[in-house]
Chain A
Amino acid sequence: MTWKRLISSEFYAIFTNIPLLVTVFGGVIIYSFLYPLPYINQTPKEQSIAVINLDDSQLSRTIERMANATPQVNIIEQVYNIDEAKALLVEGHITGFLLIPQHFYRDLLLEKSPHLLFAGNASYFLVYGTVIEGLVRSTSTLAAEVKVSRMVMRGDNIALASSQYSAIGLNLKPTFNASLGYLNYIVPAVFVLILHQTLLIALGLLTAGQYENKVKYHPVTELQSSYWLIYPVWQILLVRSLLMLIIYLMLFSFYFGYSFESYGINRLATIPDLMTLAFPFLLSVIFLGTVIGLLIPRKELATLVVLLSSLPLVFSAGFIWPTSNMPTVINVIAQFFPSTPAINGFLRLNQMGDSIDNLVQIKMQLWSLTLLYAMISGVLMHKKQHELNMIIKSS
């Protein structure tokens, strides 16, 4: 009954548990390549569109050329009515189209503010946004040129005219992810969730594997001497959480260091700042995983439960859909999973350059969750230990 024996048994239990090792090392490393894979190109570019040019003036052809010049769209087809364009869209050849109405040039000269029609396939929002952005950008350049030339015709100075075409300009600057890259958006948040989920599974597999009722198939003498039935619960929990913490601090550094660096993702936080969040995050997950392991009857269910929780946790974390627009119940429940405050905290710290002093609330939340789940796992483990020892004695 020494600490040394406990530590070595725990070490042995972790490093001989093949499914655990596959999940922890295999899972974390494979996911670090697989998950970012679809987003490697960052932003959708050169979406194929069609043009319906009913005006066929020189100006309308200029519009086509300007649209083609944007990185967002690429005109691949000329069609003559909306139905043809829609047919191409349905077949997946194009993702949007531009309609230049008849007499567009004439109406422009008559200052009648002619309409252009932009259409995009809103079955895919990112594609739709890209097509519309390209079309709006190219025509607003044209509109500005038209205004400037009118001002010059009225006798304004060209230098003045080209800076004064709009009464008040708006300069919109994307901040924290200047390129609007999708990889920069998804990966920093999802990697936190991957660490969260694999760690939950690992603890679930380990704990459930030990505390499930095996009396039926295993000789009692073998079970009697199991270290998890002999040592006091607090010692087991302490050793287990510290060992897993050390393993996961390494994996955490691999993600937040090597992976982020190689994908070119912002790393604004200092290592000590990251660690002050990483400690309570990993510890709270370790204890939550232990609680799960003690609640399920068979170890394979750990993977199942965690797997099913993944998508709800991603979408309720607040980085995809604003929390203010979510039902309060969902938001409150989500706060009990360490992933929610952790994703939020790490994004603020590492992606948005917030100072650790502003994250007191998140730090407190993670430490409270650690305490809460540590207590629950202590109570449950104590109960299980007692039950199993009784069963072994009686058989």
Chain B
Amino acid sequence: MRLLQSIKNEWQLICHDAWLKALLFWMPVILAIVIWGVFSAGIARDLPIGVVDHDNSSVSRSLIRNYNASPTLAVVNHFHSMEHANTALREGSIYALVIIPNSLEKNTLLGKAPQVTAFYNSQFILIGKLINSAMLSAHGTYVAQIETFKDLASTRGNVEQAIGEALPISSQISPLFNANTHYGQFLVTAVIPAMWQIIIIATIVLVWARPLQNTSLDVWLAHLNFNDELIKLIPYVLIFWIQGIVYLSVFYGTLQWPMHGSWLLLILAQFLLVLACTSVATLFFFITLDVTRAMSLVAGFAAPAFAFMGVTFPTTDMPLLAQLWRALLPISHYINVQIQQVNYATTFSHSAGSFVALIVFISGFYMAKLLVEKRKNSSALNETKKETVEKGCN
């Protein structure tokens, strides 16, 4: 009964607070749509590259056509001077510059193995790597064609053998767990949990701070019953848990990204994450007892979390200090479970460590309670002291 009553009370408070309503309902949706929107193409296409063709022969033109035929690349500019080409590369209007030497055709026919040089912009690593592999495969296909054609003469028309000679070893590359290397599947599924963590921690801090808008800190603390206040957090925990379940359903239901593992384990991990974040937020609030300062702590703690999650840059290559900081962030333990379930479909025993870590975070509530009690004791002590001093004076 008391629980229901408190949920009802909180619900009314939420309805009257536009900011809280935003954080609980529409802001996460908008933020998620923006992030999904950025990567909605999934696979980068038609990245602009430029060419300087010193040869202008049929071989050079068909080589350029081959580059352009790659779905990743689009030859948007034929430069006549190196100066213009360099400027375009520096200003980022093209991501790569291909330079075809003169007498390319002549040297190819003479078997002199001419070299084509391509400068690609590696400042933007992700884009640079896409260009690199697209160029290699477009070039490789074209060269294999030429060589097979040449070899056809020596193998007297045996196509299979001609290919075998042009490509002595062929290879098949298989990206496991993300078969079409879809960037949405890769990044969006990690960025949204990172934002979710920020939203949970920040909102809970605001919830704790709400009474302080019209009561002074000491009065509020004096009447504070910590356990009762914790019950008030239940509706928020439930709403955040639902947020998590909703984004999972959109990824692996609506968008139909592959999900191989157990929904139950994943949703359980989400529940623990919400509790862990709530606990961290509670601790932050009671350390500072000031909403602005608590919010600064939230910013320092949660804003760089994405870099430490180990999705873009592998955890194993981080220095020890970074790995320690990573362990302090609830979301990095959750993301382990998410990747394990979604991609590998492992059993519970593989994720047990991450579950334990998430549960450890819940001790933040207890620490916050100790802080409250300490604070109460010291103020009670001060008051008794005051009283004795006053009595003494009398």
A 317-339 contacts with B by CB, 8 A: 319-322, 324-327, 329-330
* Interface membership of A311, Cβ < 8 A: yes
**Is the CB–CB distance between B122 and A167 below 8 Å?**
no
Q: How far is A150 from B198 in the complex, measured between Cα atoms in Å? A: 61
- Distance to closest chain B CB from A292 (angstroms): 14
* Interface membership of A177, Cβ < 8 A: yes
Q: How far is A266 from B164 in the complex, measured between Cα atoms in Å? A: 45
* Interface membership of B186, Cβ < 8 A: yes
- Distance to closest chain A CB from B284 (angstroms): 12
Size of the A side of the interface (Cβ < 8 Å), in residues, is 113
**Is the CB–CB distance between A316 and B168 below 8 Å?**
no
* Interface membership of A121, Cβ < 8 A: yes
**Is the CB–CB distance between A300 and B123 below 8 Å?**
no
* Interface membership of B308, Cβ < 8 A: yes
**Is the CB–CB distance between B89 and A175 below 8 Å?**
yes
**Is the CB–CB distance between A114 and B169 below 8 Å?**
yes
Question: Contacts A146-B169, A301-B19 hold; do A38 and B298 have CB atoms under 8 A apart?
Answer: no
**Is the CB–CB distance between A122 and B175 below 8 Å?**
yes
* Interface membership of A232, Cβ < 8 A: no
* Interface membership of A132, Cβ < 8 A: yes
- Distance to closest chain B CB from A180 (angstroms): 5
Q: How far is A91 from B213 in the complex, measured between Cα atoms in Å? A: 50
Find A300's partner among B173, B291, B340 (CB 8 Å cutoff): B291
Q: How far is A330 from B39 in the complex, measured between Cα atoms in Å? A: 11
Question: Contacts A111-B164, A164-B112, A321-B44 hold; do A175 and B119 have CB atoms under 8 A apart?
Answer: yes
Contact with A along B149-184 (1 / 0, CB 8 A): 010000000001101110111111111111101010
Contact with A along B58-76 (1 / 0, CB 8 A): 0100010000000000000
B41 (CB) vs chain A CBs: closest residue: A325
Interface size class on chain B is 35 or more
**Chain A residues, CB < 8 A from B350:** 90-91
Find B170's partner among A115, A147, A172 (CB 8 Å cutoff): A115
**Is the CB–CB distance between B311 and A124 below 8 Å?**
yes
* Interface membership of B132, Cβ < 8 A: yes
**Chain B residues, CB < 8 A from A132:** 173
Contact with A along B242-269 (1 / 0, CB 8 A): 0000000000000000000000000000
Question: Contacts A143-B168, A320-B126 hold; do A358 and B87 have CB atoms under 8 A apart?
Answer: yes
B 199-223 contacts with A by CB, 8 A: 199, 202, 206, 209, 213-214
Find B165's partner among A111, A119, A174, A324 (CB 8 Å cutoff): A111
* Interface membership of B307, Cβ < 8 A: yes
Question: Contacts A185-B125, A312-B31, A316-B38 hold; do A40 and B319 have CB atoms under 8 A apart?
Answer: yes
**Is the CB–CB distance between B117 and A173 below 8 Å?**
yes
B181 (CB) vs chain A CBs: closest residue: A122
B 281-309 contacts with A by CB, 8 A: 291-296, 298-300, 302-304, 306-308
- Distance to closest chain A CB from B6 (angstroms): 24
**Chain B residues, CB < 8 A from A390:** none
A 97-149 contacts with B by CB, 8 A: 108, 110-129, 132, 135-136, 139, 142-143, 146-147
Contact with A along B337-376 (1 / 0, CB 8 A): 0011001101000100000000000000000000000000
Q: How far is A116 from B47 in the complex, measured between Cα atoms in Å? A: 30
Find B172's partner among A118, A182, A303, A308 (CB 8 Å cutoff): A118
**Chain B residues, CB < 8 A from A352:** 89-92, 121, 123
Q: How far is A136 from B169 in the complex, measured between Cα atoms in Å? A: 11
**Is the CB–CB distance between A143 and B172 below 8 Å?**
no
Q: How far is A34 from B179 in the complex, measured between Cα atoms in Å? A: 34
**Is the CB–CB distance between B293 and A164 below 8 Å?**
no
* Interface membership of A391, Cβ < 8 A: no
**Is the CB–CB distance between B296 and A321 below 8 Å?**
no
Find A169's partner among B115, B293, B299 (CB 8 Å cutoff): B115
**Is the CB–CB distance between B339 and A123 below 8 Å?**
yes
**Is the CB–CB distance between A170 and B34 below 8 Å?**
no
Q: How far is A19 from B290 in the complex, measured between Cα atoms in Å? A: 10
**Is the CB–CB distance between B293 and A111 below 8 Å?**
no
* Interface membership of A168, Cβ < 8 A: yes
**Chain A residues, CB < 8 A from B302:** 307
* Interface membership of B40, Cβ < 8 A: yes
Of the listed stretches B139-147, B229-237, B381-389, name the one at the interface; the rest are far from the partner chain.
Answer: B139-147
**Is the CB–CB distance between A143 and B127 below 8 Å?**
no
- Distance to closest chain B CB from A79 (angstroms): 15
Find A115's partner among B90, B171, B194 (CB 8 Å cutoff): B171
**Chain A residues, CB < 8 A from B126:** 125, 320-321
**Is the CB–CB distance between B143 and A324 below 8 Å?**
no
* Interface membership of B240, Cβ < 8 A: no
Contact with B along A175-192 (1 / 0, CB 8 A): 111101010111000000
B203 (CB) vs chain A CBs: closest residue: A304
* Interface membership of A39, Cβ < 8 A: yes
* Interface membership of B195, Cβ < 8 A: yes
**Chain B residues, CB < 8 A from A322:** 44, 47, 95, 124, 127
**Is the CB–CB distance between B314 and A124 below 8 Å?**
yes
- Distance to closest chain B CB from A341 (angstroms): 12
* Interface membership of A3, Cβ < 8 A: no
**Is the CB–CB distance between B191 and A182 below 8 Å?**
no
* Interface membership of A315, Cβ < 8 A: yes
- Distance to closest chain B CB from A229 (angstroms): 21
**Is the CB–CB distance between B174 and A118 below 8 Å?**
yes
Q: How far is A231 from B362 in the complex, measured between Cα atoms in Å? A: 50
**Is the CB–CB distance between A176 and B34 below 8 Å?**
no
A 173-225 contacts with B by CB, 8 A: 173-178, 180, 182, 184-186, 197, 201, 205, 216
> Could you list 9 examples of A-B contacts with CB < 8 Å?
A27-B300, A89-B176, A108-B169, A120-B175, A177-B122, A298-B291, A307-B299, A310-B303, A358-B91
Q: A166-B143, A167-B150 are in contact. List 14 more A-B contacts (CB 8 A).
A: A18-B293, A34-B304, A38-B319, A108-B169, A116-B169, A120-B175, A168-B142, A170-B143, A172-B118, A177-B122, A307-B295, A320-B124, A321-B127, A326-B37
Closest 9 CB pairs of A and B: A122-B175, A174-B122, A111-B164, A122-B178, A303-B295, A176-B123, A113-B164, A354-B90, A146-B168
Binding site for B on A (CB under 8 A): 18-19, 22-23, 26-27, 30-31, 34-35, 37-41, 43-45, 86, 89-91, 95-96, 108, 110-129, 132, 135-136, 139, 142-143, 146-147, 150, 163-178, 180, 182, 184-186, 197, 201, 205, 216, 297-301, 303-304, 306-308, 310-312, 315-316, 319-322, 324-327, 329-330, 344, 347-348, 351-355, 358
Binding site for A on B (CB under 8 A): 19, 27, 31, 34-35, 37-41, 44-48, 59, 63, 87, 89-92, 95, 104, 108, 111-129, 132, 135-136, 139, 142-143, 146-147, 150, 160-161, 163-165, 167-179, 181, 183, 186-187, 191, 194-195, 198-199, 202, 206, 209, 213-214, 291-296, 298-300, 302-304, 306-308, 310-314, 316-319, 321-322, 325-326, 339-340, 343-344, 346, 350
